Amino acid sequence: MRNKKVLLGMSGGVDSSVSALLLKEQGYEVIGSTLELFVGSSCCNINTYLDAKSVCNQIGIPHFTYNCKDEFKQYVIEDFIDCYANCKTPNPCIECNKYMKFGYMWEKAKELGCYYIATGHYAKTEYSKKYQRWVLKKSKAGKKDQSYVLWNIPKELIEHVLFPLSDFESKEEIRKMARDKNLKVANKPDSEDICFIPDGNYKKFLENNSNLRPKQGNIVNTKGEILGKHIGLYNYTIGQRKGLGISYSVPLFVLGFNQAKNEVIVGKEEDLYKKEITVTDFNLLLVDEIKGEIEVEVKTRYSSKVAKAKIKQDENKIKVDFFEPQRAITPGQSAVFYRGDIVLGGGKIES
C-alpha cells in the first residue's frame, strides 16, 4: 500500500538538505540516511555525517547512518579497478547509484516501511500515459541534469523514487532556499571529484589499492610503428593528448590500446571519430526490449551533448549507429539513450 514515508539519501550537501526541506513541506514523513561508503571520501566523512545530522535536527526529522563499506568495495571499488586493469575508463557514480543509492538504500527503506526513496539528484520521475509506465526523465537543470548517471536503476523502482529538485533550473535557486531557511550548508562547495579519490589522483589510488603497477611498453601509431614508450596502460585514456612524451609532425592523441602487446595506440585527431559502437550490460527503462531499429538521441559522456543515432538490439548487445561520427568514445563509459526528455535506457560502451 502506498504511503508518504520516504528514506532520503543525505550527503551533508545543499542539494540533499534542500530535498529534505521540500519533502517535509510536501507532507512526506521523511527519514534522512547517510551511507558510510569509503574512509576518507568526500561524500562520507565525519563532516558529512555531522552536517547531515545537523540539518535533520534543524528541520525535525530522524537521521540514520549505515555502514556499507564492504558493499561499496565489492560493487564500486573493485569495478573501478577492474575497468582500468582492462583498458576501460569507468564511471563509478553509475555503479554507486545502481548498487548503493538505489540498491542498498531501497532495501533499508523497505525495512523501515517506506514506500519511497529520494535523493538530491537533478532528474525526474513521473507516470507516462503515452507509455503506460513510470519513466525517468531529464530535470529542468540543463547542463546539471543527472539523468545520465541514473540509467542503471531497476525499472520497477522508478515509481518508488522521488527527486525533489527536478523542477529547479539553477543551483543558485537551491542555495537561496537553503539560506532562507538558515541551513548552515547553504554555501557548502559542490564535490566535483570521484568521492573516494578527493585529491583527483586516480593513478595513485589504483597503485595503493590494487596490484596495478607501471609497466613500460611501446606507444605505436595505427601502422604499428613505435613512436615512444608509455609508463603503464592505466595512465592513459582515449582522447588524451598531453603527457605522451613524443614529438611528431602533427598532434597525436590516444586512440586505444593493445592489451596483449602492452601498447598504447595513437593517431591524428580525425582518427578519434567513430560512427558505430557496441553497448553491453544494458538496462532498458522505457521498453522491455528494442524491436527492430529505432531512432534515439545518445549521450556517451556526462558532459557531452546528445547525438542522433539508430539503435538495434542483438540479444545481449545493442548496436549504435550515429548519424554523425562522435569524438573519443571510450569503452567503460556509458551510452544513454533518450526519447525526447525520457531515458529509454543505457549500457556500457564495449567498443
Could you list the active site residues?
96, 195
Amino acid letter, 204 = K
Please say whether the beta carbons of 326 and 270 come within 8 A: no
Tell me the C-alpha distance between 223 and 27, whole Å: 65
Tell me the C-alpha distance between 7 and 162, whole Å: 10
In the structure grid, which three cell numbers stand for residue 21, read together? 526541506
Indicate the burial class of 233 (C-beta count within 10 angstroms; 0-12, 13-18, 19 or more): buried
Tell me the C-alpha distance between 274 and 62, whole Å: 50
Place of cell 542522433: 308
Radius of gyration (Cα) for the chain, nearest Å?
22
CA angle 178, 99, 44 (to 5 degrees): 45
Place of cell 526523465: 137
Give the C-alpha distances (Å, rounded to integers) separating 169 from 90, 123, 139, 143, 183.
Answer: 28, 11, 8, 10, 20
Please say whether the beta carbons of 85 and 210 come within 8 A: yes
Please say whether the beta carbons of 148 and 336 come within 8 A: yes
Q: Which residues lie below 8 Å from residue 338, measured CB to CB, with a gap of 6+?
A: 138, 296, 297, 298, 299, 306, 344
Closest CA to 293 of 347, 341, 337: 337
